[in-house]
Structures are given as C-alpha cells and as structure tokens.
Amino acid sequence: MTISIATVEASVFQAHEGACFQMSDEQGFCVEVCLKRCCENSKNRAPGAKRVPFSLEFETVAEGVPLFHVGNFSFSHPDIGVLGPVCAGRILNPASPNLALFQVVFG
C-alpha cells in the first residue's frame, strides 16, 4: 500500500512513534530508522489548507550512513505501507551525535 503524499496527515504516524521503518532510495541505500517524533505545527497552517503542517523525525545509528544533507527517500512500515519518495534532510543531532537524524516536512 502506498501512502498519498498529497493527503497524508500526522495521525497516520502518531500511533507509530518509536516504531521501526525502512528508509531507502533508488540507488539501493537502505537502513532501518526509528520514528522519533511526529510533530504537528498548526500555527503555520495556511488559510484553506487541507491539512495541518507536520514533520517527521527518523533516527538511526550514524555509523555507515552517508553524510548527505538532502535526498529523496521512501519510508516503509508493515502496518501503514510506503511513503515516498519524499525529500528528507539530515539535520543536526547535538544531543546524540552518534545518531543520524532525518526530517521530512509536510506543508
């Protein structure tokens, strides 16, 4: 099952915080990541927008993960299906420098 990027809402992911997902790209990179946070941002909702903006943060062990900043990745979970490809950026993780942190933002 593929999750529609156009209509996906935070509620799809909120029940899966802490769960493992597979993060992959079209070049064959694949790593297990943990959904660390799903955060809605209702203050930035545009008038007439169909959904509340939200972001997802996925975390994994940094060792062996390329030091890229942005890329197109798919995220899959057996219970909810596949999301993507979507643009994910590696963001700073000063609290846990041994972990790679990726963020996906939905407007």
Q: What is the mean pLDDT of the chain?
A: 92
Q: Band the pLDDT of 65: cuts 50, 70, 90.
A: confident
Cα 12-15-20 angle, rounded to 5 deg: 95
| Interatomic CA distance for residues 53 and 73, integer angstroms | 19
Question: What is the model's pTM?
Answer: 0.92
The number of folded domains in the chain is: 1
CATH number for 74: 2.40.10
Q: How far apart are CA 99 and CA 66, in angstroms?
A: 12
Which residue range is the domain that position 35 belongs to?
Answer: 2-106
**Longest C-alpha distance within the chain, in Å?**
43
Predicted pLDDT of residue 1? 86
The pLDDT value recorded for residue 56 is: 98
